[in-house]
Chain A
Amino acid sequence: MMRTMWIVLLTLPAMWAQNTANGKKLFEAKACYECHGWRGQGGLAGARLAQTKLTLQGFRNVLRNPPPSNMPPYRAAVLTDQEVADLFAYIQSFPAPEPAKNIPLLKD
């Protein structure tokens, strides 16, 4: 268990370097930012993606068959499985936000 985790952690940065760059391009080209924001922060138009708790598999499922909403289905003709993985890598790279209590303007 520990061993696999180490391997994953060591190989992740290399995979990400490649995938996140393409994911970033896709995030714009496939219009993800339009509803979810450039940092995946979400809003009234789309759910928050930053710090998603979804797995890659879960993410792909939502993309292919989103719940009833304004979110269009992104089928393979629009995003291949590889592209979905790249996108997922990019979304996972969004920095974790400060807790609101550490931001003076969001305190009271």
Chain B
Amino acid sequence: MADYEVARLAKSKVDRRRFLKRAGAGAAAGLAFAPQGVAQQAGSVEVTGPVKPGSDFMLDVIQSLGIEYCAANPGSSFRGLHESILNHGGNKNPELLTCLHEESSAAMAHGYAKIEGKPMMIMVHGTVGLQHASMAIYNAYCDRVPMFIIAGNILDANYRRGNAEWVHSVQDVAAMVRDYIKWDDNPVSLTHFAESAVRAYKVSMTPPYEPVLLVADGKLQEEPPEEKNLRIPKLVMTAPPQGDTGAVKEAARMLVAAENPVIVAGRVARSQHGIELLVELAELLQARVHDQRLRMNFPTSHPLYGNPGVLPLNPNVSDADALLGLEAQDLWNFTHKMTPVNRFGMESQSVMKPGAKIITVSAVELNHKSNYQDFGRYVEADLAITGDAEATLPALIEEVKRALTADRKRAIQERGKKVTEANAQALRQHRELAAVAWDASPISTARLAAEIWAQVKNEDWSLVSWDRMMSSWPTRLWNFSKYYQFIGTHGGSGMGYGLPAAVGAALANKKHGRLTINIQPDGDLCYAPGVLWTAAHHQIPLLNIMHNNRAYHEERMYIALLGAKYDRSPEKSDIGTALKGPNIDYASVAKGFGLYSEGPIENPVDLGPAIKRAIERVKKGEPVLLDVVTQPR
């Protein structure tokens, strides 16, 4: 820390000389305080000695946290840190990623964290940068994803040099996103910054993982440190919260006693170990698992995988006499039926058997907020355990083992067989359904999924896009088993997540040499397509294959539906929802941003060879884009 000490001494010398000069100038002009012009002149006093800016120390703190990347669209409110990253840090750990929109920075961090299991840093520019980033931060919050946000700001009014710095400064930076981050601070000294940065990282990485925000004050960044004995506190990670021992024992007793326990998995597995634990529990209980596919929780080819019923959307759990929700999202919707959209009014009723028990395990309850409603409807659980599911599973497994008698084991084997048979039958059915419209143009989403699978199944692949928009064909036809092979979805349903999150996930996959696949809807791409350039610029290998149905199709269906419901012909449902006239030429868009691209591909026969060519390019380290014109769903 000697450098900071030298800097502090140098700074005090400068301050003294500046003060004397200012006082002299003021006296000459007959003023108690120097007018601005003089002060500016005074500010140009030469600095001597090996002075370093405070932002160097801030960067040292950030580097101590092991952050690999920092995504940012440049802004003067954090120019000090920006410059320190390049010249003090050698643009390594973190390395700067040039982003063309702050929403892209945050969504990239979102995708990255789900693969890498730790936060990326983003820097946002005062008021406007954070405003741009806010939707993507909200998505990450709803998706329980860590993110380390640094917002530049100038708190001291006396330090704002002109209008731009006034309009980009704010009294309470985090206020606009405080409802959907876990913690924030506005440090007023470097010591304060160091302590809060370490705390922020720790808070972000304690389940439930969430974004955190730290303000980097302009004056603190750009002036030499004034403080003595600057030091970086030691980072000690918190052990994840585990469910209460007694409650876990009771849960095991209920599950073992049940005739038909069913598991609903939301965001359970953070790692391969998490998947293995869930498999172990399911096998012990011979319970089927409904994976909400918000993470890769359970292997899709496992005999107990309960999701072949992706049709209908809400799986039927009415046969369960014990339902275990593990970090489940909106579990209430699994256990209830509501008046559907083609009826009027709203009534809801439970679909559960009388006397069926509901058990929940979740860490999210430790971090409920009021304003945003991501917590979903209140679940009337019989046993609610507050604790992280992955951390609680080992204890639950042990208790289940203890509670299982030989008799129970025999009874349990039978129900497992039924699920296995249902699974095999569902798979056959999926394949027959996939054959319908096999040769159609626009290309069917089943064909698209099957063609991609044929080319990637022997690679170490990672699908980083959601597949509901394409009738979940990858989930139905591919074989998912590793934690990085599926990363769920946007969390807050904020569109525009898909493309940048895929780029962030691909960046995390890069060092592991995995083939990253993004099946990219057209509407989502159009929110902030500039991230394609970021992928090209930073040589992030990524196979983008478009599901281009030339519409905001989800919304088009709603318009048609509401019209017909009121006896109005759905003929106009294209207006405001279709993306045609002119068609958007995504291959040209991608080319313009520096990517190899092909398309529009309309004939299904052309698809396989195009994917093959694209994979060759990706393997050389490039992002590519294939524009494929597809059926709506």
Contact = CB atoms under 8 A, between A and B. Distances in A.
Q: Do A and B come from one complex?
A: yes
Interface of A: 29-31, 33-35, 37-46, 48, 50-51, 66, 68-75, 77-78, 97-100, 103, 105-106
B341 A42 contact: no
A40 B435 CA distance: 12
B313 to A, nearest CB: 7
B40 interface: no
B245 to A, nearest CB: 41
Contact of B567 (A50, A71, A77): A77
B468 interface: yes
Interface in B550-572: 553, 556-557, 560-565, 567-571
Contact of B437 (A41, A71, A78): A41
Chain B interface residue bracket vs A: 35 or more
Interface in B524-557: 553, 556-557
Given A41-B631, A72-B564, A34 B556 contact: yes
B556 A44 contact: no
B633 A78 contact: no
Given A34-B553, A34-B632, A105-B451, A74 B564 contact: yes
Given A38-B631, A69-B340, A50 B561 contact: no
B437 A97 contact: yes
Interface of B: 310-311, 313, 339-343, 428, 431-438, 440, 442, 444-446, 450-451, 453-454, 468, 471-472, 477, 553, 556-557, 560-565, 567-571, 573, 631-633
Nearest to B477: A106
Contact of A68 (B342, B444, B567, B573): B342
A100 B434 CA distance: 8
Contacts of A78: 564, 567-570
Nearest to B570: A31
A38 B440 contact: yes
Grouping DSSP codes into helix (H, G, I), strand (E, B) and loop, the B interface class, with mixed when no group exceeds half, is helix
B5 to A, nearest CB: 64
Contacts of A69: 340-342
B567 A44 contact: no
A86 B59 CA distance: 70
Contact of A97 (B438, B445, B564): B438
A41 B444 contact: yes
Contacts of B442: 38
B433 A48 contact: yes
